[in-house]
Amino acid sequence: MVASSNAVEPCPDCGATVAGGTAGCQSLMDELLARDFSDVTYFRVHRLLVDTYSLQHPERYCASVKSLAAHLTGLCWLLEHDGNRAVGNEALRRWLNRNPRLDKPELPSFRGKLTIASAQAASDSIRYAEAVELWARSTWEAYSALQPLARCWIQQGLDASPRKR
């Protein structure tokens, strides 16, 4: 397929209307990630950004069940347990690093109405954090069929942690 790299077309994964489609969407993400590491006021929702974007682009970021579990439990932890939106949960990370046996479920094809475009449009770090939160909740809603699995994996991860809360 021959297409101008600047053509405004929807990203096939998340539906964001961005110049350059998939590549344009990815470069938006790269910009937001780079800003996180240069400005601590944006880094406050770094993990929320990563988990949300990854769940909207699972072909790239959730190819293995381990990476899916990382992002699915990650988002669940942040939204349902009011976890640390900058860095996530260390006990869950340690559990996944031990490669627990997990089965990969079917993923939703619709991944929510909001996309990275809504976060990118925010004019300052406060509005940005609010936009990422709304985008994250909309994505979590689209993953409603997998929410019980996410909760079950979180329980497994916390139970397996030597330092339980």
Rounded CA separation 1/74 (Å) = 36
If we measure between CA atoms, which residue out of 117, 115, 121, 120 comes closest to residue 138? 115
Query: DSSP secondary-structure letter at 18?
Result: E
* Position 36 contacts Zn ion (CB under 5 A): no
* Position 132 contacts Zn ion (CB under 5 A): no
Tell the smallest beta-carbon distance from residue 49 to Zn ion (Å): 13
Q: How many residues bind Zn ion (CB under 5 A)?
A: 5
Tell the smallest beta-carbon distance from residue 25 to Zn ion (Å): 3
Rounded CA separation 93/77 (Å) = 12
Judge contact between 132 and 48, C-beta under 8 A.
yes
Which span sits near Zn ion by CB under 5 A: 3-11, 100-108, 120-128, 139-147? 3-11
Rounded CA separation 132/143 (Å) = 16
Residue nearest Zn ion (C-beta atom):
11
* Position 119 contacts Zn ion (CB under 5 A): no
Structure tokens at 152: 């079950």
Q: Which of 24, 25, 135, 154 binds Zn ion (CB under 5 A)?
A: 25
CB closer to Zn ion, 11 vs 91: 11
* Position 49 contacts Zn ion (CB under 5 A): no
* Position 51 contacts Zn ion (CB under 5 A): no
Judge contact between 53 and 36, C-beta under 8 A.
no
Judge contact between 23 and 31, C-beta under 8 A.
no
CB closer to Zn ion, 121 vs 152: 121
Residues numbered 4-23 forming contacts with Zn ion, rule: CB under 5 A = 11, 13-14, 16
Query: Residues interacting with Zn ion, by CB under 5 A?
Result: 11, 13-14, 16, 25
